[in-house]
Amino acid sequence: MISDVVFAGGAMTPFNRRKDGSSFRDWARTAVQGALNDADLDVTDIDALVVASESDFFTMQLNPAALLADHCGLTGVAAKRVEGGGASGHLAVHAGIAEVASGMARRVLVLGVEPSASHLKGADVGALYGLSFDGWTDGMTGIDSTSLYALSIQAFMARTGARVDDFAAIAVRNRANAQVNLNAHLPLDISLDDVATSPVVASPYRRLDCSPLSDGAAAIILSRAEDLPTRPEGSARFRAAASTVDTVRLGERPDPGFFGGKQRAAQRAYSYAGISPDDIGLAEVYDSYSGAQLQALEALGFAQGQSLNAEREGAFAVNGSLPINLSGGLLGQGAPVGATGVAQVLAAALQLEGRYFGMQAQHAPKFALVDTHGGIATLNAISILEAP
């Protein structure tokens, strides 16, 4: 059963732009060793490896799972690679959960890695991201991800009355949250005016509304409590894992501004866990753009469908009833794609265990939700974790 699967430990490298001559192989090895140390395990204790890497163009490495198993001293384990756009890392976590829950493996190492920032020029990365949608109708026409997200948020604004200052408040808060995160790419002290005067990228989004391109790696270890040598009673436990897809082309959705696929994934996860959105005490949400966080909160069913009002009332702040993205989210922590979902799960688990840097929720949450997606909330992954 999925509820038998616990978070045994994890670690990540700083998310940033690497110009020091290191490569994704180095970052992977650092994250893996950190995860092993956190779990009090040795490399020989691992049965299986699940690697998340969105694009071979970034790593310039076909079959990265075999390479990274070799490079990290995991020769002989079962290994696979998972890819699902922006959701790659989170889907790799789901694959690891399935291996432990099914009995196929006792201890699974999930490794997400991506050189998204320093290997290619930004324009080339943007062109590749365009192929994350429909390559024929979107990517090859020159439409980029920011333009598609901008179209989606414009529809959301028309329906809900959301304003650009709502998005700016999220951009400011998530970067502020990131200031306690020692691994964050953009731990910034910025103002609403800073966001409002930053260059327009695709209206209504400005540069500070957008998450950065980042390099980095994150790793977690999954197991059953009885297969861990130490700390099983203090480990966060998985209660649900769910994923769904929406139509790839934004214009074919009934409402291009509503994340319907994410809503279905969340409803499935709540059903699996036997809880409601009101039971969630904190969440790590996929905020590739500031407005996308609001769209996600609506789809996840938080604040009983009144997420925009709740945002304006401060419900999702550090001292609010439901803190969102204490890590800083993608906007603050950064976004090396294959590592993103793994790092989100790592942050949520450490928060539930009371081990997350200096920032904790103002209350003692019982459940945390992790939300990730690829495309414009096209391929959606949701996990629910329970506190020890």
The mean predicted confidence, pLDDT, of the chain is: 94
Could you read off the pLDDT of 101-111 as tens digits, one per residue?
999 999 999 99
Residue 360, pLDDT above cutoff 70:
no
Determine the pLDDT at residue 361.
61
What would the mean pLDDT of 67-90 be, rounded to a whole number?
A: 96
Determine the pLDDT at residue 362.
65
What would the mean pLDDT of 110-122 be, rounded to a whole number?
A: 90
CATH number of 2-120+214-233: 3.40.47.10
Could you read off the pLDDT of 245-301 as tens digits, one per residue?
999 999 999 999 999 999 999 999 999 999 999 999 999 999 999 999 999 999 999
129 phi/psi in degrees, rounded to 5: -60, -35
**Strands (DSSP E) found in the chain:** 5-12, 48-52, 78-82, 107-115, 200-202, 205-206, 215-224, 237-245, 280-284, 367-374, 379-386
Query: Which of the four pLDDT bands, split at 50, 70 and 90, describes residue 230?
Result: confident
Residue 325, pLDDT above cutoff 90:
yes
Is 140 in contact with 84 (CB distance < 8 Å)? no
How far apart are alpha carbons 250 and 260 in whole angstroms? 11
How far apart are alpha carbons 166 and 149 in whole angstroms? 16
Determine the pLDDT at residue 305.
85
Rg for the chain, CA atoms, rounded: 19
What would the mean pLDDT of 63-72 be, rounded to a whole number?
A: 95
Rounded to a whole number of angstroms, the distance between the first and last alpha carbons of the chain is 17
Query: Which of the four pLDDT bands, split at 50, 70 and 90, describes residue 1?
Result: confident
Q: Is residue 242 classed as helix, strand or coil in its secondary structure?
A: strand
- How is the chain split into domains, by residue range? 2-120+214-233
